[in-house]
Amino acid sequence: MWEQLEDKGLLKGMDEKQLKNKIKNLKDVFRQELAKIERSKKTQHCKSMSFAEIHSNLAKDSVGLGGRSKETINRKWDKLAICLNTHGSGPTKNGQCWRKYWIDLKHRIQSRAAQYRQGATGTGGGC
């Protein structure tokens, strides 16, 4: 591998120790950037949870706000998308993509809860 990098001219006067230090520094920078993104995702998740607490009809994905309920719900999802997207380095999505994220998250949580309930109420299946 060292020879391949030399052939491509990517090492230009570096010895092996210098290259290892450079790789270590790049790994550290990568880890720091990844940590920033993870913190951002957590912040976005917390903001979406608090938004869902305030607007419970969105969390339940229910309709019932009158004749323009679909428009109202879409506007609220778009409002949430703007709030979450302005945060920074986390994922940027439109209102419909955040809605799908929320529905998928809710489904995963409900599935996990069902598995726990099934395990807690099961008899064990023995003889």
pLDDT of the residue at 113: 84
CA–CA dist 12, 6 (Å, integer): 7
Q: What is the DSSP string of 25-84?
A: HHHHHHHHHHHHHHHHHHHHHHHHHHHHHHSHHHHTT---SSTTHHHHHHHHHHHHHHHH
pTM of the model: 0.58
Residue 5 has pLDDT above 70, yes or no: no
How confident is the model over 23-62, as pLDDT tens digits? Answer: 777 777 767 766 665 666 777 878 877 887 787 777 676 6
d(CA 104, CA 8): 45
